[in-house]
Amino acid sequence: MFGHNRRDESQAPGIAPDDIPEGFDRAAFAAGCFWGVEEFFRAIPGVADAISGYEGGFVDHPTYEQVCTGSTGHAEAVLVTFDPSRVSFGALLEEFWRHHDPTTLNRQGPDRGTQYRSAVFTHDDAQEKAARASLDEYQARFKRPIVTEVTPATTFWPAEEYHQRFTERTGRGGCHVANW
């Protein structure tokens, strides 16, 4: 719905944190491999779009190969565009916590590296407040400390086209299982 066409995938345009379609809101989450994260967010009623990409780094127009080295500072992330009259940011946070292990630093399942870290990239003060409150609430459910970063959103760089809707297109399973 809100995808981006691009000729040279390595030069995909970034999406600024305040670039939000009218009537919608945006949220960005990192929870390991973006294929599974994109898949579970797409399934939520009220989510209009979910785009796999890179956020939280310091290199413009990063490629998958660059991000995989861990040298760009980016996390594999998913930018979720949602209708706040149908699904709340709080409900998205609940799904985020449920679908990955927020207590493992720079790792989800077999995937290791800073690009697989757990993070919520907040788009405004209300999201930051809600994310921190949710983190505190969920901490009581885990035996180990939650290591999820809650940080202001930066430019979101859409991943290469072959990463978009990966599990839907290929039939290969996602990278995540629910925590309960």
124 lies in a domain?
yes
Q: Which domain holds residue 69?
A: 21-170
Alpha-carbon distance of 130 to 159, in angstroms, equals 27
- The SS3 of residue 53 is strand
Alpha-carbon distance of 36 to 116, in angstroms, equals 12
The tens place of each residue's pLDDT in the chain, 180 residues long, gives 444 433 344 455 778 777 888 899 999 999 998 888 999 999 999 999 999 999 999 999 999 999 999 999 999 999 999 999 999 999 999 999 999 999 999 999 889 999 999 999 999 999 999 999 999 999 999 999 999 999 999 999 998 887 888 777 887 766 654 443
12 lies in a domain?
no
**Residues annotated catalytic, as ranges:** 33
- On whether the CB atoms of residues 34 and 53 are closer than 8 A, the answer is yes
140 lies in a domain?
yes
- CATH number, domain containing residue 87: 3.30.1060.10
Count how many domains the chain has.
Answer: 1
For residue 178, give the nearest of 80, 101, 79, 90 by alpha carbon. 101
CA 32, chain centre distance (Å): 9
